[in-house]
Amino acid sequence: MKSLLGEVVYEEFEKAIENEVKTSIRLNPWKKKPNFELKERILWSKNGYFLENRPSFTLDPSFHAGAYYVQEASSMFIDHILQSQKVEKGIFLDLAAAPGGKSTLLSSYLGEEGFLVANEVIQARAQILKENCIKWGLGNILVSNNDPEHFEPLEGFFDLVLVDAPCSGEGMFRKDPQAREEWSTDHVMLCSARQKRIMDRAGALVKAGGYLIYSTCTFNELENEEMIRFLTDEFSYEPVRIPLDPTWQIIESKVETEYGDFFGYRFFPHLVEGEGFFITILKRPENAYSLVPKKMKDFKHRFLKEIGAKEAEQLDSELGIAPNGAYYQLNESYFRIHHNWKNHVDKLSQHLSIKYFGVEIGKKQGKEWIPSPAWALSTLPKNQYNTIELDQEQALTFLRKGELKLLDLEKGWTLVCYQSLPLGWIKNLGNRINNYYPKEWRIRHL
């Protein structure tokens, strides 16, 4: 750090990492705003705000409704990159995605015009990623649980690939004392070697004219600038320079390579109200040559059944959804995606271990239709259902999967909402009210 910053500035850095980092959130632009005051916007992010203090997010039902994501400010710079480059919306990949901070940002950017593959190699973390993507609710994400190597047949498939790499975590020294304990030069070398393995695969997945974004939460050059050199040696990429407002105090780093000057951006804790961070973006030339995919292990989902176009139209009409869905059936459950992405999902399902995709609408059990919690949390309409507005206490009871005592509730299914934000389903059986909030999501420590 001393060689990166010089002795004098190093002291400022050392002081800064003893201070608390400001809490920040990013709003879900496709859902209703939560009912609290947001005064200080994060300047490089369209939907990011600093909070004055750190509230208990667990006790805020609008957090569980996916109205916002708690994310530190530096990471939201991706928003500025996408907006300033006017990156075309298409099919994006977030290769190291859990718990989903950057995936939910990419999903917001894409909206209905794009589709995101959010991948996580560690199974337990892929489960958390899936939960966060469901709550975000846009239905434009496919969650997979694969090693980057498994993506080999998808070379040249993606308009944008983001790799937020596992790293030595120097930028987390302030938040996480364990990160300081675990740091060693050997660990930095190990991280750098692992990043090269990942980027050796990721670099080939971008289509001609597409973008590759690489980021870490560490400062050292071996895991950052060195990776830019590695990528330009292995693949043909063009540099991209991001416009910066000097008041943001983000430090640009120029990397001279034999293929031209490339740029990275560093976020230091003594300059920026966020965690330490490094990010770079490269562009695959329009005339880049794509490798011919090799045959590899087949992950085809044997149980995924496609629903015909006619039946899909009928389902959309019965459910009150615009007639632009493609449906798949997995056991008794129905999953819906925008039909524009059907061919992509078909291709992806041949190679990836899919954990979730689109919106799980519900399942048929005998003659009964059971609406899914994911549908409740999605931005798709649910107009034909009764809704009920809960106060905070009642909403927390619902999220604990407790029993709600509600008078004059109509028989059958009701969508429960908090501040007009859907949380899930209850069903009035006459003698009792069943709570359909998923057991694995219920909030416990209250």
Q: Which positions make up the binding site for S-adenosyl-L-methionine?
A: 96-102, 120, 147, 164
Q: Which is nearer to ligand SAM, 156 or 166 (CB)?
A: 166
3-state secondary structure of 196: helix
Whether 76 and 49 have beta carbons less than 8 Å apart is answered as no
Among residues 438, 439, 440, 416, the alpha carbon closest in space to that of 426 is found at 416
Least Å distance, CB 198 to ligand SAM, is 5
Does 293 sit behind a cis peptide bond, omega within 30 degrees of 0 on the bond before it? no
Helix (H, G, I), strand (E, B) or coil at 326: strand
Query: Whole-number minimum distance, CB 280 to ligand SAM, in Å?
Result: 15
191 is catalytic: no
Would you count residue 70 as binding ligand SAM (CB under 6 A)?
Answer: no
| CB-nearer residue toward ligand SAM: 213 or 417 | 213
Residue 13 C-beta: closest distance to ligand SAM, Å: 21
Pick the closest to residue 110 from 127, 126, 125, 93 (CA basis): 93
CA–chain centroid gap for 306, Å, is 26
Restricted to residues 197-216, the positions that interact with ligand SAM (CB under 6 A) are 198
Q: What are phi and psi of 383, to 5 degrees?
A: -65, -25
Q: Pick between residue 133 and residue 198 the one whose CB is nearest to ligand SAM.
A: 198
153, 351 in Cβ contact below 8 A? yes
CB within 8 Å of 72: residues ≥ 6 apart: 21, 24, 175, 274, 275
Q: Is 194 in the site for ligand SAM (CB under 6 A)?
A: yes
User: Which of 60, 72, 79, 120 forms a contact with ligand SAM (CB under 6 A)?
Assistant: 120
Annotated binding site: 96-102, 120, 147, 164
Which residue in 17, 42, 98, 380 binds ligand SAM (CB under 6 A)?
Answer: 98
Give yes or no for residue 121 binding ligand SAM (CB under 6 A).
yes
- The region of 2-10, 118-126, 273-281, 400-408 touching ligand SAM under the rule CB under 6 A is 118-126
| Cα distances (angstroms) measured from residue 396 to each of 33, 328, 390, 427 | 19, 33, 9, 17
Indicate whether 122 belongs to the interface with ligand SAM (CB under 6 A). yes
101 binds ligand SAM (CB under 6 A): yes
Binding site for ligand SAM (CB under 6 A): 75, 96-102, 120-122, 125, 148, 164, 166, 194, 198
